[in-house]
Structure 1
Amino acid sequence: MASRVVLVTGVADQLGGQLAARLAADPAIDRVLGVDVTPGPGPRDARVEFVRADIRGPRIAKVIDSARVDTVVHAAPRPSVGPRRAAIKELNVIGTMRLLSACQRADSVRKLVVKSTAEVYGASASSPAVFTEQDAPEQGHADEVEVEGYVRGFARRRPDVELTVIRLAEVIGPGVDNALARYFSLPVVPTVLGFDARVQLLHVNDALAVLNRAATHHLPGVFNAGGDGVLMLSQAIRRAGRVPLPLPRAAIGFGTRLAGRVDLSPGQARLLSYGRVIDTTRLKTTFGFTPKWTTAAAFDDYVHGRSATARF
């Protein structure tokens, strides 16, 4: 199914903004609408039609109807951390509900792509060594668990809409500004005493490529997306040239905020204790994509990019 009019939410964020630009460069796509409450700090691609709208409000339905949008890429969900946690959670959950309601009523919509996260699986002492797409989300550990619940409900009400859900591993790379990237940039990195978690990462370029492919190809289903291999947390800290500071588990959130004002979501804090690895067999076989960057290579590229930036 060729996508002609694509709407991307969350374009003020790096991933959503760059994805919209990639889609706009595709000659098979006629229009790309980028939706967010602000245009974001970075430069805007002139080919992306920016629409200032809050997906929690009624305007999103009018935008979808008037533009005859056939493909919606919901890239807006983000970790709800820091002093704006409640507001971000409302945007994630209520915003998704309103967006899906608008899509449900729009007969032009034929495809929905949802950016989710591997954080839906949780992280605990009882977690499997490797999570597959058949593993049920761990209730109550991420806004994305609620988001995916509403998405499944939408799929039942609109079975004619092709649905693709991408569960991303932790995204990293040059220029990425998220909690994990800031965590590894701390001069002294708080760790959980007695634990050395396995960490799986996804290079930002691979994350963009996966979401772009999901939006432009017939690939319904749920897919894990992560780089091959893992790094132990201690290895990552050494590769970043940082010094670990072991703390009791209960103090890890306070420690990261004290060390450098890094706010971790509850799921990210558990990740630093127990780690998380996802199986990407379906991504490579059914989805038809193999990440170009391994976990180690993605992390090293992040470190190199940070070092290069620091020199200027």
Structure 2
Amino acid sequence: MINATILSSFTLSGLDDSTTKHRVTLFSLTLLCYSVILLVNGALIVTIILEEKLHEPMYIFVGNLCFNSLYGTAAFYPKFLFDLLSNTHVISYTACLLQVFVVYSYVTTDFSILALMAYDRYLAICRPLEYHSVMTKHNALLMVCFSRLLPLLCQTVVMIMTSKLELCGFNIEKLYCDNWSILKLSCNSITTNNIVGFIFIVLYFGHDLFIVCSYVQLVKSALKSREGRKKFMQTCVPHLLCLCNISVALLFDLMYARYGSSSISQSVKNFMAIQFLMIPPILNPIIYGLKLTQLRNSFLSLCMVNKR
């Protein structure tokens, strides 16, 4: 039996021989992907900070969504890039738990922010007379803080429970550490961990239900006027695309982690495991940058000023 208190490291076995044969190509593509993530998210954050007219709740939420992408991907890409150039793929016990904490608090924070954005759009379109009294900058910042603190609290509970497990192995069959992979190494029953994990999964997929209910009201309201339809298409469609993006990617990962077939090739497994760290962080800022006219124009104006 290997006790978790004396276990010093895990081996990440997601990079098999067929993958490492193309390590230079994979390193180049991964570096390009991470550079794009840093560029597009950083550009939107800087634009929102510098442009005073963008200091409104909707844009504050968009900026927080972009910042969260930088936070989550920072836990994966630097380590993965290092592993692509290394012959040994080892991560310390503490670093592994930290990676799990950051990656999954990033995902759950995304759901919290998207729920806030749905509430913001509901007030703006369905209850416009109350919008400015309810959605003040102060209230928006409080909501942002809550959207970050609740996922951190939930993930702290999960990490404390995971850290108390006695482990009988050290091999994680993924490119990065995730909580389910650690639980499968436990020597004892993980029923309590599974129950708590299931509660948190239901809680955050419950955010999807809240958003869907909000959008039922939004659609009803938007159909009543041309202005409502225009506002819906401009600000709500990108939000729905981002929600579908992260929901499908995460559901894919969760379902595969628990029910995935061993007959699937390692390359397919790897893609399924990292898509929520690759696709949403790139697409979300691009979607908002293209669809939100004021944000796009402010970004282009800043670019023109810098060229001069």
Q: Normalising TM by the smaller chain, what interval?
A: under 0.3
Indicate the structure whose relative CO is greater, using CA pairs within 8 Å and at least 6 residues apart. Answer: 2
Higher helix share: 2
TM-score for the superposition, normalised by structure 1: 0.25
TM (norm. structure 2) is: 0.26
- Name the structure with the higher strand share: 1
